[in-house]
């Protein structure tokens, strides 16, 4: 069975739950060091598999999983620090990583012959928590809804993404996370006074943005129906009159059926 991004997020959450906080004067068990190494190895795999980030191999290959009785080396900590920085760089292409960057800024690179302190252990776990918080967003679809004619944002539009309903903000944006890579998403947009829109979106990137233009629906003030055979209303951005070559005319001007097909302003 192929594991999805959501499956991997659940795996790293479970791995993180196994790791407890260290206290001053405590010894961290070799088992905990191994579990933490596996956790950061999984972070690297997620970045490579789902986000196309391939800069982590060097650090993953250097990760050591110490056994009971082995001495914990400074590089056992430092390699995880480097992976954390690379994961931040990977996720910065998709999310706001300010909280993660702040946590990483507290990390210490341990010098040779120096000790890995309890605070070093705890700071790295805080970084792991921030990474998991970002990964839980998974792939994100952002929809920008604007007016077809004016190109101004439309606030208060209803955006339905795979049956989940969102509403556009003052800038015309609505977004939904928790989507899988390469998932095909159905997006429907509606707003009173506008014709609706329906599109399909492929989640081929971790952050996909789609701009959707809505055309205003006809109103009594801007819409007059000419009298001729089987005439149907169409959006005001393209009013089609029934005559020789079906040429488009301006929304405010229609052809009345008269003997000479004269243009008439309504």
Confidence category of residue 247, pLDDT binned at 50, 70, 90: low
Pair 127, 156 in one domain: no
- Do 180 and 224 reside in the same domain of the chain? no
Q: Is the pLDDT of residue 230 over 80?
A: no
Domain final residue pick, 135, 157, 173: 135
Angle at 14 between CA 19 and CA 69, to 5 degrees: 35
Are 102 and 61 part of one and the same domain?
A: yes
Domain hosting 238: range is 218-266
Decide if pLDDT at 24 tops 90: no
Domains held by the chain: number:
3
Same domain, 151 and 89: no
CB of 104 within 8 A of CB of 123?
no
pLDDT tens, residue by residue, 177-188: 999 999 999 999
Backbone phi and psi for residue 217, each to the nearest 5 degrees, phi listed first = -80, 155
pLDDT winner (highest mean) among 134-148, 214-228, 249-263? 134-148
Confirm if 50 and 26 have CB atoms less than 8 A apart: no
Is 17 in the same domain as 128?
yes
Cα separation, 25 vs 17, in Å, equals 22
Question: 252 in helix, strand or coil?
Answer: coil
Give the distance from CA 248 to its chain's centroid. 40
How far is the C-alpha of 74 from the C-alpha of 66, rounded, in Å?
12
CATH number of 183's domain:
2.60.40.1120
As a whole-number percent, the residues of the chain with pLDDT over 70 amount to 82
If you write DSSP's letter for every residue of 212-232 in order, what string do you get? EEEPBPP-TTT-----STT--
Question: Is residue 244 pLDDT above 50, yes or no?
Answer: no
Verify that 172 and 60 share a domain, yes or no. no
pLDDT of residue 145: 97
Give the integer Cα–Cα distance in Å for 222 and 266: 9
Rg (CA), the chain: 29
Nearest to 44 by CA among 14, 8, 74: 8
pLDDT band at 226 (very low <50, low <70, confident <90, very high): very low
Residue 251 has pLDDT above 70, yes or no: no
């Amino acid at each position: 069975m192929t594991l999805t991004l959501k499956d991997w997020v659940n795996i790293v959450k479970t791995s993180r739950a196994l790791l407890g906080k260290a206290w001053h004067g405590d010894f961290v068990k070799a088992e905990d060091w191994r579990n933490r190494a596996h956790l950061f190895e999984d972070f690297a795999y997620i970045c490579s598999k789902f986000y196309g980030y391939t800069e982590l191999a060097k650090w993953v290959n250097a990760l050591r999983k110490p056994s009971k009785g082995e001495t914990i080396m400074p590089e056992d900590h430092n390699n995880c620090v480097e992976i954390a920085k690379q994961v931040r760089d990977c996720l910065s292409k998709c999310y706001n990583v300010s909280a993660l960057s702040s946590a990483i800024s507290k990390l210490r690179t341990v010098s040779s012959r120096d000790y890995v302190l309890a605070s070093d252990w705890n700071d790295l776990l805080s970084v792991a928590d921030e990474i998991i918080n970002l990964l839980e967003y998974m792939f994100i679809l952002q929809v920008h809804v604007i007016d077809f004619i004016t190109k101004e944002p439309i606030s208060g539009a209803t955006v339905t993404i795979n049956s989940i309903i969102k509403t556009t903000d003052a800038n015309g944006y609505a977004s939904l996370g928790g989507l899988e890579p390469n998932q095909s998403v159905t997006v429907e947009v509606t707003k009173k006074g506008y014709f609706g829109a329906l599109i399909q979106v492929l989640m081929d990137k971790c952050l996909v943005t789609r701009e959707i233009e809505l055309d205003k629906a006809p109103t009594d003030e801007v819409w007059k129906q000419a009298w001729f055979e089987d005439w149907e209303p169409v959006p005001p951005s393209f009013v089609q009159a029934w005559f020789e070559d079906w040429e488009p005319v301006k929304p405010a001007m229609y052809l009345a059926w008269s003997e000479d097909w004269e243009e008439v302003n309504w």
